[in-house]
């Protein structure tokens, strides 16, 4: 675990190593150090609290990209059973950067779709680092329509740096694939719950991101452009990524304040990767809660609310003196 750590995690990991050593020492020497151990444990919690209280936007981006962070298939494995993965867009291929299939979430039969990253070189090649080609987005839409046909709610998990910016993507019309998903998602007559579980990278995230509820795990981000990309354009230097991250207001708290997400799902102290099972249990609870809430609406009402939800996003100023600055926010 210790071989992948972020710089602000170091003091925590050092204390944890110390704790482990002390425990081993006391067992080997049969000396009672329980007081020292509990002191150290308290200190670890305290340090974690301090560190996590003062995270910058850039720190949050690092956490969202943490190589040990649970990915879509990790959550699918934890929160549901009887998952049947379905493949392919029926036109070109099966994009492994987007996974999807039917699954049982408690007593609910749902369609789960999400972007999937790899953990090592081999799986990252297979998953294209979680960056989908057009066929990935077309597979997602096919599965969403399949779910709609059989009245199954859709659960989406987003964790991608963005759609893949390559020659093949352009040749097979990545822009059209994303746009089509956006338009068609407003016509799907089943509840859709979207959760950003890590990186919410621009159009590649939004391409599967239209839904009735937009949830976000605490240490995830969702942004119109990567901090590095923004820094390269506005500061002409990628090294200003941390500044760009702050300017873009991309953290879960910023997004909730802006009314662009509905709910933050808190992560275990130290981040989702320090307690994946606990995180998954909380995610499952919130998904079920929202699913039950959404099922109360008639289909017309559901689609109308979905429309109005996105219709209200944006901040404009009308020039007429009475109007002033108009912030249209989510009505719910």
Partner 1 sequence: MRLFSRKKYTSIKVRKKDLPGGLWIKCPSCQEIVYKHEIESGQGVCPKCAYHFQISWKERLALLTEEGSFEEWDANLESADPLQFTGQVAYTAKLVESRKKSGLKDAIICGKARMGPFTVALGIMDFSFLGGSMGSVVGEKVTRLIERATANKLSVLILSATGGARMYEGMYSLMQMAKTSAALARHANAGLPYISILTHPSTAGVMASYATLGDIIIAEPHALIGFAGPRVIKETTREDIPNGFQRSEFMLKHGLIDLIVNRKDLKETLIRLLGYLSRSTPPAPSNQPIVEVSAPTTS
Cβ-based nearer residue to partner 1, 186 or 289: 186
**Cα separation of 45 and 268, whole Å?**
11
Asked if 176 interacts with partner 1 (CB under 8 A), we say: yes
Asked if 22 interacts with partner 1 (CB under 8 A), we say: no
Asked if 257 interacts with partner 1 (CB under 8 A), we say: no
**Scanning residues 191 to 250, which ones bind partner 1 (CB under 8 A)?**
202-203, 206-207, 209-210, 222-225, 229-230, 233-235, 243-244, 247-250
**CA atoms 88, 89, 91, 97: torsion sign:** negative
69 with 198: CB under 8 angstroms? yes
**Cα separation of 156 and 272, whole Å?**
18
Asked if 317 interacts with partner 1 (CB under 8 A), we say: yes
Asked if 327 interacts with partner 1 (CB under 8 A), we say: yes
Options 260, 263, 284, 288; binder of partner 1; rule CB under 8 A: 260
Asked if 189 interacts with partner 1 (CB under 8 A), we say: no
Question: Smallest gap, in angstroms, from Cβ of residue 134 to partner 1?
Answer: 9
Asked if 325 interacts with partner 1 (CB under 8 A), we say: yes
Question: Smallest gap, in angstroms, from Cβ of residue 318 to partner 1?
Answer: 5
Residue 82, phi-psi category: left (phi > 0), alpha (psi -120 to 50), beta (remainder) = left
Contact residues for 196 (Cβ-Cβ < 8 A; gap 6+)? 158, 159, 205, 209, 214, 215, 216, 217, 220, 221, 222, 252, 261
Cβ-based nearer residue to partner 1, 105 or 248: 248
Cβ-based nearer residue to partner 1, 55 or 247: 247
Tokens of 226: 């990567």
Could you tell me which residues are beta bridge partners of residue 200? 160, 222
Asked if 252 interacts with partner 1 (CB under 8 A), we say: no
**Cα separation of 122 and 163, whole Å?**
20
Q: Longest C-alpha distance within the chain, in Å?
A: 80
Cβ-based nearer residue to partner 1, 87 or 249: 249
Contact residues for 166 (Cβ-Cβ < 8 A; gap 6+)? 133
54 with 96: CB under 8 angstroms? no
Cβ-based nearer residue to partner 1, 74 or 254: 254
**Cα separation of 116 and 100, whole Å?**
10
Question: Smallest gap, in angstroms, from Cβ of residue 243 to partner 1?
Answer: 8
Asked if 84 interacts with partner 1 (CB under 8 A), we say: no
Options 97, 105, 141, 163; binder of partner 1; rule CB under 8 A: 163
Tokens of 189: 């007559």
Q: What is the DSSP string of 84-106?
A: EE----SSS---TTEEEEEEEET
Cβ-based nearer residue to partner 1, 285 or 317: 317
Asked if 311 interacts with partner 1 (CB under 8 A), we say: yes
Tokens of 158: 């987003």
Task: Mark the segment that binds partner 1 (CB under 8 A) among 10-18, 20-28, 61-69, 175-183.
Answer: 175-183
Residues that contact partner 1, how many (by CB under 8 A): 60
Neighbours of 94 (CB within 10 A): 14
Task: Mark the segment that binds partner 1 (CB under 8 A) among 39-47, 98-106, 109-117, 158-166.
Answer: 158-166
Residues that bind partner 1 (CB under 8 A): 163, 165-167, 169-176, 178-180, 182-187, 202-203, 206-207, 209-210, 222-225, 229-230, 233-235, 243-244, 247-250, 255, 258, 260, 306-307, 310-311, 313-320, 323, 325, 327
């Amino acid at each position: 675990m210790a071989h992948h750590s972020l710089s602000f995690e170091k003091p925590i990991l050092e204390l944890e190593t110390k704790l482990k050593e002390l425990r081993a020492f006391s067992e080997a020497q049969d000396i009672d150090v329980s007081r020292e151990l509990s002191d150290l444990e308290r200190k670890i919690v305290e340090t974690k609290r301090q560190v996590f209280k003062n995270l910058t936007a850039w720190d949050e981006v690092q956490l969202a990209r943490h190589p040990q962070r649970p990915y879509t298939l990790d959550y699918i494995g934890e929160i549901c059973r009887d998952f049947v993965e379905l493949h392919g867009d029926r036109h070109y291929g099966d994009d492994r950067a987007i996974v999807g299939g039917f699954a049982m979430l408690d007593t609910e039969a749902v369609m789960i779709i999400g972007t999937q990253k790899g953990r090592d070189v081999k799986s990252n090649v297979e998953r294209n680092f979680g960056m989908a080609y057009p066929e990935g987005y077309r597979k997602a839409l096919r599965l969403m329509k399949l779910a709609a046909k059989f009245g199954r709610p859709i659960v989406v998990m987003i964790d991608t740096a963005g759609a893949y910016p390559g020659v093949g993507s352009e040749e097979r019309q990545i822009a059209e694939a994303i746009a089509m998903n956006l338009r068609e998602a407003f016509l799907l007559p089943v509840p859709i719950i979207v959760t950003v579980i890590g990186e919410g990278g621009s159009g590649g995230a939004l391409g599967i991101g239209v839904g009735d509820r937009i949830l976000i795990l605490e240490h995830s981000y969702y942004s119109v452009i990567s901090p590095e990309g923004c820094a390269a354009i506005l500061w002409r230097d990628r090294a200003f990524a941390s500044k760009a991250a702050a300017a873009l207001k991309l953290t879960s708290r910023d997004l909730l304040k802006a009314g662009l997400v509905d709910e933050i799902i808190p992560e275990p102290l130290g981040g989702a990767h320090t307690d994946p099972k606990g995180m998954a249990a909380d995610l499952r609870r919130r998904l079920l809660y929202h699913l039950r809430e959404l099922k109360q609406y008639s289909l017309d009402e559901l689609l109308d609310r979905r429309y109005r939800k996105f219709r209200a996003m944006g901040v404009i100023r009308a020039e007429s003196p009475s109007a002033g600055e108009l912030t249209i926010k989510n009505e719910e």
